[in-house]
Amino acid sequence: MSVYEKYMRVEKFPHIWCSGCGDGTAMKAIIRAIDRIGLEKDKIAMVSGIGCSSRTPGYLDFNTLHTTHGRALPFATGVKMAKPEMTVIVVSGDGDATAIGGNHFIHSARRNIDITMLIYNNFIYGMTGGQYSPTTPLGHLATTAPYGNIEPSFDICGLAITAGASFAARGTVYHAVALDKLIEQAIRKKGFSIVEIFSQCPTAYGRRNKQATPVDMMNWYKDNTVPSSKAKTMSPEELQGKLVTGVLHDVEKPEYTEQYARLIERVQGGKSN
């Protein structure tokens, strides 16, 4: 049995992802990270919302919860509050996380609850018809922006950091070995941690934006990403149009479920402060 089969629900295959989609590569990186940590499958709860990315938990043999659009984090928060000993992982997409689920994203980071959120960012709503999302770059095309997107895009990691997350990192499916290491760091981190994963969508995004094949899109990741260590030595002009990858933020902060448990203990013990 391969390391992948150990963690997969093989009876659920073949998967629904399009040929050339990056989501399967991201899923395999998650498996490698979990295997390296040595987590028991029944100690993991994986939660998702709606979209291509959110089909990931259905293929993995953990305690899984496939919820409604944008609501993965509230469900995951409930799981973590009820069972704080569980490792809770949310798999989401750029639309699911930052549009309909954006409010939950902000407040989960603000609370710094011990949940790892993995956000597959393909710059588009892939499953629902190729509409532009909050991360679609300026000028790029979508079914709802046939003449080019005029809205500035979110910096997902920047949003998480500003809102209060303990850990934020960014990787791509092209840099698969580095990606599973980032996911491992995020899972090990106490507090709210995110990894933004650039995952190509050749069907809904690439063919409309001069990246006709998955290979073109992977090469774009290779040519337009800069490791965070190198980015520190570059000017803003040199970084224009580049995606900075690696660990972007890693701090120690009080974690929500631990503070909540201490509050209960204090109140039940009759202490006033």
The mean per-residue pLDDT over the stretch 26-46 comes to 98
Contacts of 218 (CB under 8 A, 6+ apart): 173, 174, 200
For 54, the token pair is 């959110």
User: Tens of pLDDT along 140-150?
Assistant: 999 999 999 99
Start-to-end C-alpha separation, the chain? 54
Residue 129, φ and ψ in degrees, nearest 5: 130, 10
Average of per-residue pLDDT across 40-62: 96
- pLDDT score recorded for residue 200: 96
The helix (run of H) or strand (run of E) holding residue 99 is none
Residue 17 confidence (pLDDT): 96
Question: How confident is the model at residue 272, as a pLDDT?
Answer: 53
CA distance 190 to 166: 8
What pLDDT shows up at residue 270?
65
Question: Are residues 113 and 78 in contact, defined by beta-carbon separation less than 8 angstroms?
Answer: no
What class is the 10-270 domain?
alpha beta
Is residue 111 within 8 A of residue 256, CB to CB? The reply is yes
CA neighbours closer than 13 Å in the CB half-sphere of residue 176: 14
Yes or no: say if 113 and 77 are a contact pair by the CB < 8 Å rule.
yes
Going by pLDDT thresholds of 50, 70 and 90, the confidence category of residue 241 is confident
pTM (2 d.p.): 0.95
In order of 46, 69, 203, 240, 253, the CA distances from 98 in angstroms are 19, 11, 21, 23, 23
**Average pLDDT of the residues of the chain:** 95
- CA dist., res. 120 & res. 114, Å (int): 20
% of the chain residues with pLDDT over 70: 98
- The candidate with the shortest Cα–Cα distance to 99, out of 145, 150, 151, is 151
* pLDDT of 221 higher than 80: yes
> Could you state, in order of their start, the residue ranges of all structural domains in the chain?
10-270
Strands 243-250 and 167-172: antiparallel
Which pLDDT value is given to residue 212?
Answer: 81
- Average pLDDT (210-228) is 94
